[in-house]
Amino acid sequence: MRILIIAQYFPPDMGGGATRAYNVAKGLKANRCDVVVVAAFPHYPTGNIPKEYRWRILRVEYINGIRVIRTFVPPLSSRGLARRAILFLSFIMSSLLALPLIGKVDIIWAANPNILSVIPALIISTV
């Protein structure tokens, strides 16, 4: 079974959302599922984006055998409603750029805490 996880936060980001998404992906992989994750460039909570992600739109990497497609977000901290809204909206838009790299999937899970992750999940499910 091929499963897509859409999670704005994924390790090395810190916090419950990133940890939860990683643990779910790791558990699915351990149960012989083919897991693909679409996540934002590491940025939480400071907004500092590591050098290897700068000046890119997408980057594909593997974390413990899990394929992770990283997408652009601006280098903003998550402090304040306006900045957080910009980060959420930019992730929605940039995650759609990962469409050609995802391929066919059986299940799509839009991970919390960004409830807006459901928007790219709905779009991807119709393609």
Q: Per residue of the chain (127 residues), what is the pLDDT tens digit?
A: 999 999 999 999 988 889 999 999 999 999 999 999 999 999 988 888 999 998 899 999 999 999 999 999 998 887 888 888 888 889 989 999 998 899 899 999 988 666 666 777 778 787 7
The 3-state secondary structure of the chain, one letter per residue: CEEEEECCCCCCCCCHHHHHHHHHHHHHHHCCCEEEEEEECCCCCCCCCCHHHCCCCEEEEEECCEEEEEECCCCCCCCCHHHHHHHHHHHHHHHHCCHHHHCCCCEEEECCCCHHHHHHHHHHHHC
What pLDDT does residue 85 have? 85
What pLDDT does residue 109 have? 92
pTM: 0.87
What pLDDT does residue 66 have? 97
| Residue extents of the structural domains in the chain | 2-126
Per CATH, the number for 2-126 is 3.40.50.2000
